[in-house]
Structures are given as C-alpha cells and as structure tokens.
C-alpha cells in the first residue's frame, strides 16, 4: 500500500524516500488524461503570443531600417490567431508605403522633406481622398521614378503624361512612396527567431497548465 514520502533515521544516517501516495498518483493519472486538451490550449496561447511578439519586433526592425514611423509599419502587419489547423499567421503587406506616412512631412520652397528624405520639386497637398500626400509633377526636372514606385508614367507623351497608379485616371502627378523590397531578405531570420521564441513561450504555457491543475486540486 502506498503511504507517500517518508523518512527513516538510524544512529549513523538518515534516509528520505520520495513517493506519491495513492491520492496523488490518482491525481497525476487524471492530469495525464487531460494532457492532450491542456497541451492544445497551451500551444494555442503560445502561438498567439509569439505572433504578437513577432509583430512588435518586425515593426520596430523595419521602422529603424527603412526610417518609417513604427505606427505606419504596424498598419502593414496583420496577425491571424490560431485556426483549426493549429497555425497562426502574420501577414505583412510589402507594397510601397506612402512617404507621407513615414513621419511628419515639411514643405519648403525646394520641396518636401520627411523622415530624413528629401523630395525636390514635390509638394504636400490633398489631391485625392481626404488626406494630403507628397506629390510631384511628372514633367518636373526633379522627378525620379525610384522615389515614386508604382506610379506608372506613360511613354506616349513623355514624362509629362503621368498615370497615378492608385487612381487609374490620367493626371500628370506621381505620389512619393517608399519601397519595402529591402525587408524581404529578413523573413528567414524573423521566422527562425519566432520559432525559438515559440519554444520558450510553449514551455511557459505548459507550466501554467500544470500549475493551474495543481491549484485546482489544492482548492478542492
């Protein structure tokens, strides 16, 4: 019959024997039966927490690397919680981002500056929609297609025949944007870091499930 842990002493030594008593052994058996459910719950929380952690760190990293306000980068990141297939996802929109969102645009006689970038010949004004953006006339001698990605310029009438890609109507203006192509090489590194973080959080969540069960027994 199991009597649990006990100690025994003699004149020359002491011996401690650790052993679960019958009630404890029964409780462990019950927890083992609950393990699949507990593990699933721990896994779901761990993935969701890691996705949020990854979103925060990617936003900071891209913000620093590309000199873009972190709030603007966060808007390009969308977290999807764990689905029935056990997968959580983090979506990152990599289309060029409006330069006006990189920081606080400042208009001067020569053009517009924002977040350490200068757009000579450009102006900060509301053209389409309700919010101002940084625009340039495509006929301007300062127009550089690299600073205005995705704003397609028609070759039919020379540089003065511009097409605003977002509007699809002919208008000799292009919107200043910032390419996010330079962040692509970092995806492998981010994935590796996220997996390492997931292992740490998973261990924490499994410990939480065990402690939760043990507290329930103590209150029972």
pLDDT in tens, 85-120: 888 888 999 889 999 999 999 999 999 999 999 999
Q: Using the structure block, give the residue that is written with the tokens 């404890």.
A: 24
Are the C-beta atoms of residues 99 and 119 closer than 8 Å to each other? yes
CA distance 10 to 109: 96
CA distance 117 to 179: 13
Q: Name the β-bridge partners of 7.
A: 16
Q: Name the β-bridge partners of 3.
A: 21
Average pLDDT score over residue span 172-195 = 88
Q: What percent of the chain has pLDDT over 90?
A: 33
Whole-prediction pTM value?
A: 0.72
Tell me the pLDDT of the chain averaged across its residues.
80
pLDDT at 19 over 80: no
| Domain map (residue ranges) of the chain | 42-94+185-220, 98-178
Average pLDDT score over residue span 137-158 = 72
């Amino acid at each position: 019959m199991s009597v649990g842990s006990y100690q025994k002493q003699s004149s020359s030594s002491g011996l401690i024997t650790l052993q679960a008593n019958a009630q404890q052994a029964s409780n462990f058996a019950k927890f083992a039966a609950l393990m699949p459910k507990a593990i699933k719950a721990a896994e779901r929380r761990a993935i969701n927490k890691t996705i949020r952690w990854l979103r925060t760190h990617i936003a900071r990293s891209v913000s620093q690397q590309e000199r873009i306000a972190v709030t603007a980068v966060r808007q390009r990141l969308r977290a999807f919680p764990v689905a029935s297939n056990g997968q959580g996802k983090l979506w990152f929109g990599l289309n060029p981002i409006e330069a006006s969102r990189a920081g606080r645009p400042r208009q001067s006689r020569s053009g517009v500056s924002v977040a350490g970038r200068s757009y000579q010949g450009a102006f900060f004004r509301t053209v389409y929609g309700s919010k101002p953006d940084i625009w340039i006339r495509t006929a301007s001698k300062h127009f550089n297609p690299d600073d205005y990605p995705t704003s397609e310029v028609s070759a039919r009438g020379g540089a003065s025949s511009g097409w605003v890609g977002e509007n699809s109507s002919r208008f000799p203006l292009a919107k200043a944007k910032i390419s996010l192509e330079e962040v692509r090489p970092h995806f492998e590194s981010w994935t590796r870091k996220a997996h390492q973080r997931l292992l740490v959080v998973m261990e924490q969540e499994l410990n939480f499930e065990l402690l939760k069960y043990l507290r329930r027994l103590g209150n029972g």
